[in-house]
Structure 1
Amino acid sequence: MQSRVFDLGSVRKDAVVTVLLQASANVRLMTKANFLAYKQKQFYKMLGGVALTPMFKLTVPSNGHWVVVIDVDGLATPLLRTRVEVDQVAP
């Protein structure tokens, strides 16, 4: 499976993660611990889903270390260029 991983590092609650895509893709926002479970094909929790538009936004639910994974698993589109931006909320 072709995927791209963006390790966001420490992100504050309510920060907005914006994913910019050139084609439909699965967007998964997860904690570092859930990302490790995902890599090992174990049960994991995530926010996100299939992005059908060029811009997909997610709000981080809690302070912590966050990772975004973008893939095309189950989709008929190739994984093209992607960009991820984080807009941190002031403390």
Structure 2
Amino acid sequence: MYSKTFDLGTVRRETVVTVRLNTMANVRLLTEVNFTAYRRRQYYRMHGGVATAPLFKISVPATAHWYLVLDVEGLEPRPLHPQVTIGELTEP
């Protein structure tokens, strides 16, 4: 599959969402309103960008209900096998 959607539920401001990817992908962190607009192919605002490395971290800008969308739109179409962690990732 070339896209994955994660309903993160209510996430507190400054929480770190960590995405581990097997391929380059677009990472879109969207509020409920913007997620609905994204699905309807309307104008939307997002946080994120293109993940060019296997590990992508994004800090949640406000406490709200969030969705995370990963896709390869505009990139080489490869199946996505992401791992998503909500909360600070402990690095050794």
In structure 1, C-alpha distance between the alignment counterparts of 2:40 and 2:22, rounded to whole Å: 28
**Counterpart contact for 2:32–2:66, Cα < 8 Å:** yes
Match of 1:72 in 2: 72
**Counterpart contact for 1:2–1:71, Cα < 8 Å:** yes
RMSD of aligned Cα (Å): 1.4
**Counterpart contact for 1:5–1:67, Cα < 8 Å:** yes
Name the SS of the counterpart of 1:34 in structure 2.
Answer: helix
Name the SS of the counterpart of 1:36 in structure 2.
Answer: helix
**Counterpart contact for 2:2–2:77, Cα < 8 Å:** no
Size of the aligned set, in residue pairs, is 88
Structure 2 unaligned residues grouped into runs of 5+:
none
Q: CA deviation at 1:80?
A: 2.4
Match of 1:50 in 2: 50
Q: So what's the TM-score if we normalise by structure 2?
A: 0.90
In structure 1, C-alpha distance between the alignment counterparts of 2:30 and 2:80, rounded to whole Å: 21
Match of 2:32 in 1: 32
- Identical-residue share of aligned pairs (%): 50
Q: Deviations over 1:30-89 (max 9, x none)?
A: 10110000000000000111100000000000000000000000111403210111107x
**Counterpart contact for 1:71–1:79, Cα < 8 Å:** no
In structure 2, C-alpha distance between the alignment counterparts of 1:71 and 1:80, rounded to whole Å: 8
Q: Structure 1 residue runs of 4+, over 3 Å off?
A: none
